[in-house]
Chain A
Amino acid sequence: MENIFRIIVCIKQVPGTTEIKINPQTNTLVREGIETVINPFDTYAIEEGVRVKERIQQSGEAAEVTAITMGPPQSESILREAIALGADKAILLSDRAFAGADTWATALTLKKAVKKIEGWRLIILGKQTLDGDTGQVGPELAHMLNIPFIGYASSIEEISFQKITVKRLAEDRYETFEVRLPAAVSVGKDINIPRVPSLRGKLKAKNETIPVWRAVDVELDEKDAGLPGSYTQVIKIFTPKHTYEVKMIEGGPDEQADELFKKLKQLSIV
């Protein structure tokens, strides 16, 4: 197993937001049937990991993808999904002590885990999660590992054992960077179109044993994990008060266009 190019893909299980609705009467969440899914951007991260693996393998070298997640025991299911989609191995970081982690504590826990994995050259993350929605874990993790981080990658132009060239979307432009490996990148939706799980992958996913690493296994002190290890703390969660009241602009297209024009004028847009 020497000189293997290992790609680590960080994924997170999130509540599928499609089902999240607010009950207008009570202003609380209607949470019936919330299913949990792989964070949408992380599906692109998995696919890109598998593609990098294939590219390295095509050049005659060995490569493997390891998917990791930190989360409650039930997060195991997304790791199996990752295997079905082409990941070779998976590790579940799960411990009561990890609960309540902010991005800092999450990044630290992931860092400790990455340090235990041999031969990693590249870490791929989603550009942000649905629930956390910060995009901070990637840059924080990269800093903790002292490796460069390139966010919002829209294509991996070149990859070898030594370096990677990444095109990424900045505010109003694309930038292409070259950095030495190991490095971390985060990906958006434009980087690839994820494949569907293969039959072989599904089979492997069913039979694979997924190791569970606890705080002690990654040598993380409990005071540095979860909420105690976090710098930030959520003190309140509430639903915004939307008072949507739609005003319909009626009539034929002429009247509608006219009325809308007047509205835009009132709004000082025209």
Chain B
Amino acid sequence: MEIKVDEKTCTGCSLCKNVCMYDAIEITGKLARINDNCIFCGACIDACKFKSIEITGIPEQDFDFSGYEGVMVFIEQHQGSVAEVSYELLSEGRKLADTLGTKLYGILPGYDLKERIADIFCYGIDRLYIAENEIFKNNIDDIYSKILVQAINRYRPDIFLGGATSFGRTLLPKVAAIIKTGLTADCTELSIDPDKKILLQTRPTFGGNILATIITRNARPQMATVRPHVMAKAAINQPDNNRTDNYLKYAGKIEFLKFDPLNFKTKYKLLSQEKESGQSINLTDYDVIVSGGRGIGGPDNFALIKELADVLGGVVGASRAAVDSNWISYPHQVGQTGKTVNPKVYIACGISGAIQHLAGMQTSDIVIAINKDPYAPIFKIANYGLVGDLFEIIPRLIKKIKSGKSSI
């Protein structure tokens, strides 16, 4: 494989050099030269106005994927409650299946599920494969991977999707490695190439500064994990709260997978599971995140942030500065070395907006920033900015929310 610059058409204009992330292009004598740092990412090829750069020698093979059909979604649950991202994936999966004119399947391993699965059928699923057994009580990678591999091998879906949760992000790579297929992590956009009918998987890298579209070129299924909270949840018929009879109503769409639990040996011994007391740490589960930074001034003041989060039905986030000062625990940290979140509303309080913080939250739908420094970089990416003292603004805001009315 080789990357080549056509000496006849290259003008040495530097467009390619400007987009190269890897210091792999030098311009000498009005000619671009590509050195050994190149990782073949293709950014320069897109950037070149003269079509002077070309990657050659990628083995072209014809693959026959005609045996693969349908979109399958891994429905993630923990102790019986289904992860929100699974509904989002079913909604997206339905769209992809419609575009391809094919079916939407779900695969749900779990334990003690029956009454709780009715909602799944509100998303236009054609068939739900259930594997119900005590072995699935805890979310253990090697046990879950076996049943997913079995389902994929048996039903041969063309596309397989799972949530980019911490479980999904360790489980699906294992499944992909066993099946021997590609996996694209953390997608934020999925679509179908109209000509080739293949899955175009778009995902952010470099903290959302760049987007890459990726294809699975030579294996099936085309597998992707999808970021929670990105795809819209679109129930086709409204979930009905009377869950007890729901399950049987959908019996025609359910198939119980046959398997022998004795074959599901695990290398993992789960010694304990504990929740952090008091505060939820699962930031990606919430529509509203209220984050505090160094401007909060100290650990006790996080109570104010928590109160605002509570009245908004949200969760508490933090900047690294706040976490490193031990004001709040690490699972709350948002950013490059913390969590990536994209809630409907992100309220940054006393956070300057360093690029590493932005990397974890700039894809939020609405960003509200409260900061006393009018030049804080957070205002550059905010939708609404409030220059002022958070200790004066937030208590007033809480009061208004609690009373439900504005005073002016």
Q: How many residues on the B side are at the interface (Cβ–Cβ under 8 A)?
A: 120
Closest Cβ–Cβ distance, residue A243 to chain B (whole Å): 10
Q: Does B36 lie within 8 Å of A73, measured CB to CB?
A: yes
Q: Does B396 lie within 8 Å of A253, measured CB to CB?
A: yes
Q: Does B408 lie within 8 Å of A269, measured CB to CB?
A: no
Given contacts A149-B174, A174-B274, A258-B406, contact A248 B387 (CB under 8 A): yes
Q: Does A255 lie within 8 Å of B206, measured CB to CB?
A: no
Q: Does B275 lie within 8 Å of A173, measured CB to CB?
A: yes
Interface presence of B366 (CB below 8 A): yes
Closest Cβ–Cβ distance, residue A102 to chain B (whole Å): 7
A253 to B151, CA, bound (A): 58
Report which residue of A74, A140, A175 has the largest number of chain B beta carbons within 10 angstroms of its beta carbon.
A175
A256 to B139, CA, bound (A): 46
Given contacts A190-B330, A269-B344, contact A143 B337 (CB under 8 A): no
Q: Does B272 lie within 8 Å of A237, measured CB to CB?
A: no
Q: Does B36 lie within 8 Å of A175, measured CB to CB?
A: no
Interface presence of A197 (CB below 8 A): no
Closest Cβ–Cβ distance, residue A226 to chain B (whole Å): 7
CB within 8 A of A178: which of B269, B280, B312, B387?
B269
Q: Does A267 lie within 8 Å of B366, measured CB to CB?
A: yes
Interface presence of B381 (CB below 8 A): yes
CB within 8 A of B385: which of A34, A103, A248, A267?
A248
Interface presence of B319 (CB below 8 A): no
Report which residue of A136, A144, A177 has the largest number of chain B beta carbons within 10 angstroms of its beta carbon.
A136
Q: Which of B292-339 contact A (CB under 8 A)?
A: 311-312, 329-331, 333, 336-338
A174 to B21, CA, bound (A): 36
Given contacts A31-B18, A139-B173, A232-B214, contact A133 B185 (CB under 8 A): yes
Interface presence of A22 (CB below 8 A): yes
Q: Does A72 lie within 8 Å of B274, measured CB to CB?
A: no
Q: Does B59 lie within 8 Å of A228, measured CB to CB?
A: yes
Given contacts A17-B355, A249-B385, A260-B397, contact A231 B330 (CB under 8 A): no
Closest Cβ–Cβ distance, residue A138 to chain B (whole Å): 8
Given contacts A175-B273, A231-B181, A232-B214, contact A267 B345 (CB under 8 A): yes
Given contacts A36-B23, A177-B270, A260-B386, contact A227 B183 (CB under 8 A): no
Q: Does B206 lie within 8 Å of A130, measured CB to CB?
A: yes
Which A residues lie within 8 Å of B270 (CB)? 175-177
Q: Which of A45-73 contact B (CB under 8 A)?
A: 72-73
Q: Which residue of B lies closest to A19 (CB)?
A: B355
Interface of A is mostly: mixed
A175 to B201, CA, bound (A): 31
Interface of B is mostly: mixed
Q: Which of A206-239 contact B (CB under 8 A)?
A: 223, 226-228, 230-239
CB within 8 A of B41: which of A41, A151, A228, A234?
A234
Which B residues lie within 8 Å of A201 (CB)? none
Q: Does A254 lie within 8 Å of B177, measured CB to CB?
A: no
Q: Which of A4-55 contact B (CB under 8 A)?
A: 15, 17-18, 20-22, 28-31, 34, 36, 40-41
Q: Which residue of B lies closest to A249 (CB)?
A: B386
Given contacts A132-B205, A171-B165, A175-B272, contact A235 B42 (CB under 8 A): yes
Q: A40-B337, A134-B183 are in contact. List 19 more A-B contacts (CB 8 A).
A: A15-B21, A17-B207, A18-B356, A103-B185, A131-B206, A136-B183, A136-B185, A139-B141, A149-B170, A174-B276, A177-B270, A234-B41, A237-B210, A237-B212, A242-B362, A247-B383, A248-B379, A257-B396, A261-B406
The 3 closest A-B pairs by CB, nearest first: A231-B182, A100-B40, A257-B396
B residues in contact (CB < 8 Å) with A: 1, 15, 17-23, 36-43, 46-47, 55, 58-59, 78, 83, 139, 141-142, 165-167, 169-171, 173-174, 176-178, 180-186, 200-201, 204-219, 267-276, 280-282, 284-285, 287-288, 311-312, 329-331, 333, 336-338, 344-345, 355-356, 359, 362, 366, 368, 379-389, 392-394, 396-397, 399-401, 404, 406-408
